[in-house]
Amino acid sequence: DVKVTQSSRYLVKRTGEKVFLECVQDMDHENMFWYRQDPGLGLRLIYFSYDVKMKEKGDIPEGYSVSREKKERFSLILESASTNQTSMYLCASSPPGGDNEKLFFGSGTQLSVL
């Protein structure tokens, strides 16, 4: 069964800490994505990657960076966590292709920044 795994389901961090959110997929997908989900705002794209060592900014990249050293792993980094980054973070992957490629999602990481 295909799988996107996010390393933590719940995470509590302090303001100013450096935070790593890890995502691993076992489907050999080229494309990987990080979204954050907030009530009333839906899912908003933070960063995405179409290949190893490649990254593109999404709609809300400020305060975040990403790393994709290996095809199966896409990490989201909060350089200095702030309280407004408290959110649900969802990782997703998809194979390369046209507009009909659906995303496969991980189960999410609920991050609380205190």
Partner 1 sequence: AQKITQTQPGMFVQEKEAVTLDCTYDTSDPSYGLFWYKQPSSGEMIFLIYQGSYDQQNATEGRYSLNFQKARKSANLVISASQLGDSAMYFCAMTSDKLIFGTGTRLQVFP
8 Å CB contact between 95 and 29:
yes
Shortest separation between residue 18's beta carbon and partner 1, angstroms: 25
Binder among 1, 62, 69, 99 for partner 1 (CB under 8 A) = 99
What dihedral do alpha carbons 90, 96, 100, 106 form, nearest 10°? -20
Is the CB of residue 74 less than 8 Å from the CB of residue 55? no
Q: Does 83 bind partner 1 (CB under 8 A)?
A: no
Residues 6-65 that bind partner 1 (CB under 8 A): 33, 35, 40-45, 48, 56, 58-59
Contact 61, 47 (CB under 8 A): yes
Q: What is the contact surface with partner 1 in residues (CB under 8 A)?
A: 33, 35, 40-45, 48, 56, 58-59, 88, 90, 92, 98-105, 107-108
